[in-house]
Amino acid sequence: MERLSDLREATESDRRWLEWTIIRLPRTHSLDIGECDLPAGCTPTRAALSFYRQPPFIAMRLDREVSYTGNNRAMSRLSHGEPVYFQNFLDMIAFFRELPTEAAPPPAQRKTAHGDTYDLDSIVDTRAVSVPRAEGKTPLTRETIQRELAKVIMGQDTALETVAHLSALHVQKGNPMRPLSIVAWGDPGTGKSETAKALAGVLSRVGPHQYSVIWTDLNTFSEAHSVYRLTGAPPGYTGYDDPPVFEAIARNPYTVYVWDEIEKAHPEVIKVFMGMLDEGRVSARKELADHSRYYDFRHSIHVFTTNLRLGSIGQEERKIGFSSPEAAGDIHYSRRCRYPLRRKPAQSGAGRYHAHATHLPRYRDRA
């Protein structure tokens, strides 16, 4: 293949051969096409192209970062030097058709003051010229967070992928409107709380901010008056001088809250959570150090753990969950459970969670 635009003009037989070859590639191997001419506006004008398989995706990438000044969206994605992932081969074919057709013009011949001609590319190696990068940490990616979490939490790839994807999106927001909230469900001992604690350490190491961890056992919040332990007791009540749980957010807005066993919390406690997840703030009983009266949770991350099973609805189970059962499953409560979710708060709060992370049973317990 001499030009990148040849992918756009490939015949049906060539595409079938490419699909057949990529599908049969081992995970550690790639299909290297070699160097080809890039479209106009690319510097350098040539780069090597390769295809590989990363189940359940297939990907293509250039061997180097290319400076692209055009407005073609497909070429802009490919020019970063990072892999471009596709769900299937049809998506890759659609990507080929979006590539620009024009090739880069041949190197211009320049003249010196004495009339001699020379080729600038023969003097300057454009492949060794790199685009200046901004100083500081590079943006977080899902792959980076998931790889670091997998060093601490083993056997929970599905849950780690969900947590890493949502965390990367949330951290990259400069001014989020709401905190990130995740419901982690599964059997006891599967790493729900440990995943949240490890997330704070990972984001502190590879992210732009230092995250702290606050772990709270909601088993001790089963009474209505326990809601004051979150926001602070009113003047004249016992516990007015005690620091509330939410005060940690005033010291560090980048905090990971681990709310353990949410099904045991009182409905009044759940209502406070719902307002926090909706508006990103909660009224404080006292004036804070910055003279405000609100706890700002917009940059925080909240992980609610539960031992209840979230899945299909049976005769003894009632649906209270997400709006898309096919995509994310349903939250429900069971009469057989000793601590069922409080129906009214849970019904109003299920749609406020960004997603749920499923923690599978331990290996010896799996069927």
Q: What length is written for the chain?
A: 367
Q: Specify if 110 maps to a domain.
A: no
The residue among 316 and 2 whose pLDDT is bigger is: 2
Residue 255 confidence (pLDDT):
93
Overall average pLDDT of the 152-171 stretch: 88
Q: What CATH number corresponds to the domain at position 219?
A: 3.40.50.300
Overall average pLDDT of the 264-290 stretch: 86
| Residue-range definition of the domain harbouring residue 69 | 4-98
The residue among 352 and 71 whose pLDDT is bigger is: 71
The residue among 310 and 18 whose pLDDT is bigger is: 18
Question: What is the per-residue pLDDT across 36-69, written as a single tens digit (0 to 9) for each?
Answer: 888 888 888 888 888 888 777 888 888 888 888 8
Residues 194, 331, single domain; the answer is yes
Residues 158, 247, single domain; the answer is yes
The answer, yes or no, to whether residue 277 has pLDDT greater than 80, is yes
Contact indicator for 276, 300 with CB cutoff of 8 Å: no
Residue 232 CB coordination number (10 Å): 22
Residue 320 confidence (pLDDT):
45
Domain boundary among 44, 71, 98: 98
Cα within 13 Å of Cα(136), Cβ side = 6
Residue 213 confidence (pLDDT):
92
Residue 313 confidence (pLDDT):
39
Q: Which residue has the tokens 């995250």?
A: 211
Contact indicator for 185, 356 with CB cutoff of 8 Å: yes
Of 352, 347, 360, nearest to 302 by C-alpha is 352
Pick from 1-5, 12-16, 68-72, 193-197: least confident: 1-5
Q: Specify if 112 maps to a domain.
A: no
Residue 335 confidence (pLDDT):
40
Domain boundary among 98, 133, 161: 98
Element (H, E) at 147: helix 142-150
Residues 59, 181, single domain; the answer is no
Q: Specify if 85 maps to a domain.
A: yes
Q: Specify if 24 maps to a domain.
A: yes
Residues 210, 348, single domain; the answer is yes
Pick from 173-182, 289-298, 299-308, 325-334: least confident: 325-334
306 confidence band (pLDDT: 50, 70, 90) = confident
Residues 249, 313, single domain; the answer is yes
Residue 325 confidence (pLDDT):
44
Tokens, residue 224: 């209505």
The answer, yes or no, to whether residue 156 has pLDDT greater than 50, is yes
Tokens, residue 270: 């759940």
Of 209, 203, 135, 205, nearest to 168 by C-alpha is 203
Of 47, 44, 53, 43, nearest to 34 by C-alpha is 47
Residues 279, 359, single domain; the answer is yes
The answer, yes or no, to whether residue 300 has pLDDT greater than 90, is yes
Residue 202 confidence (pLDDT):
92
Q: Specify if 104 maps to a domain.
A: no
Counting the structural domains of the chain, the total is 2
Q: Count H helices, E strands: the chain? A: 11, 17
Residues of the chain with pLDDT > 70: what percent? Answer: 73
Residues 168, 315, single domain; the answer is yes
Question: What is the per-residue pLDDT across 91-142, written as a single tens digit (0 to 9) for each?
Answer: 888 888 888 876 545 555 555 555 555 555 555 555 555 655 555 455 678 8
Rounded Cα distance, 318 and 304, in Å: 20
What CA–CA distances, in Å, run from 171 to 113, 140, 175, 200, 320?
55, 8, 10, 12, 29
Residues 316, 175, single domain; the answer is yes
Residues 66, 156, single domain; the answer is no
Rounded Cα distance, 354 and 160, in Å: 15
Q: Specify if 331 maps to a domain.
A: yes
Which ranges of 24-141 does DSSP label H, i.e. alpha helix?
73-78, 89-98
What CA–CA distances, in Å, run from 325 to 204, 307, 310?
34, 20, 11
Q: Specify if 134 maps to a domain.
A: no
Rounded Cα distance, 121 and 127, in Å: 10
Rounded Cα distance, 38 and 36, in Å: 6
Residues 297, 153, single domain; the answer is yes
Residues 41, 155, single domain; the answer is no
Contact indicator for 103, 3 with CB cutoff of 8 Å: yes
One DSSP character per residue, 196-259 reads: HHHHHHHHHHHSSS--EEEEEEGGG--SGGGGHHHH-PPTTSTTTTSPPGGGHHHH-SSEEEEE
Which sign, positive or negative, has the C-alpha torsion 237, 239, 241, 246?
A: negative
CA-atom Rg of the chain in angstroms: 27
Q: Specify if 103 maps to a domain.
A: no
Contact indicator for 56, 82 with CB cutoff of 8 Å: no
Contact indicator for 190, 156 with CB cutoff of 8 Å: yes
Residues 86, 147, single domain; the answer is no
Residue 347 confidence (pLDDT):
43
Which sign, positive or negative, has the C-alpha torsion 216, 274, 202, 250?
A: negative
Residue 301 confidence (pLDDT):
93
Q: To the nearest whole number, what is the mean pLDDT of the chain? A: 76
